Amino acid sequence: MDVYGGTRVADAYAFHRPPVHAPLLRHLPPGFRAGRALDIGCGAGLSTAALRPYADQLVGVEASPGMLRHRRTVAPFAGFAAGTAEHLPFREHSFDLVAATGVLNYVDIDAVLPELARVLTADGTVVVYDFGEGGHDRLADWRAEFERRWPWPPGWRPFDPRQVNLGAHGWNLRHYTDVHLHIPTDRPTYLRYALADLNVDAAIRDGRATLAEIRDWAEPTLAEVFDAAELDVGYRGYLAIIDRCLN
């Protein structure tokens, strides 16, 4: 099953994800700017839209074409194409920035790195950033039970740019920073985010539960742990910059 193949996931990635892309990208070096940027595994286009302050032209490419259904709402100023990171549908040296958010957990990295070198200009740069699930001390038990009842679907693998043998592909990790964001979030917003996630969609698509059943558990149990109007929900992430080794 393509975990990103459902309409609910496309809607969720367009409208119910936490606003973390812009604050993560603020960890780019001051003055960071590109001409033509490509966002691989762009999903609904949220990560493409976030690149707008940093690039003159934006293109998103996505392996599950259904994820692009809201692209004109999410990023009307960007171009989009269907395609995989391993076989990018673009000519040599077309971009001077490639961004990858949450996609490298799904790819064949040994096939992707040469493909990025092909579509990038000689001095082009890759920006990789990602973030985990939104948590809080008060939400820890709730999240554990949520994920026990409706486990994550298969497919995702850990990815850490510091663990990849970049040098073997002629790349260099120029910059890496851990980022810990706090986003004040009210209960209805957190509920929408949780109910829109991949574990819920997989449970519904497999026939293990209905959305109503999951909501009937999630809504009252979340009400017990949200002791304030908003919780400072934490997201642990990182931002890395990778460029070509100079010979």
Ligand X SMILES: C[S@@+](CC[C@H](N)C(=O)[O-])C[C@H]1O[C@@H](n2cnc3c(N)ncnc32)[C@H](O)[C@@H]1O
Neighbours of 10 (CB within 10 A): 22
* Cα–Cα distance, 14 to 8 (Å, whole number): 10
Binding mask 100-119 for ligand X (x = CB under 6 A): -xxx--xx------------
In the complex, the smallest distance separating the C-beta of residue 131 from ligand X, rounded to whole angstroms, is 9
Closest CA to 245 of 126, 129, 163: 126
Q: Which residues pair with 99 in a beta bridge?
A: 39, 127
42 is a site residue for ligand X (CB under 6 A): yes
37 is a site residue for ligand X (CB under 6 A): no
13 is a site residue for ligand X (CB under 6 A): yes
What residues numbered 59-78 form the site for ligand X, per CB under 6 A?
62-64, 67
Q: Which is nearer to ligand X, 15 or 217 (CB)?
A: 15
12 and 197 in contact (C-beta within 8 Å)?
A: yes
Compute CA distances 23 → 72, 180, 207, 238, whole Å. 23, 10, 37, 11
Binding segment (CB under 6 A) for ligand X, from list 58-66, 118-126, 178-186, 216-224: 58-66
166 is a site residue for ligand X (CB under 6 A): no
Closest CA to 32 of 192, 243, 217, 244: 243
> Which of 6, 27, 34, 43 lies at the binding interface for ligand X (CB under 6 A)?
43
Question: Where on the chain is the footprint of ligand X (CB under 6 A)?
Answer: 4, 13, 40-43, 46-47, 62-64, 67, 84-86, 101-103, 106-107
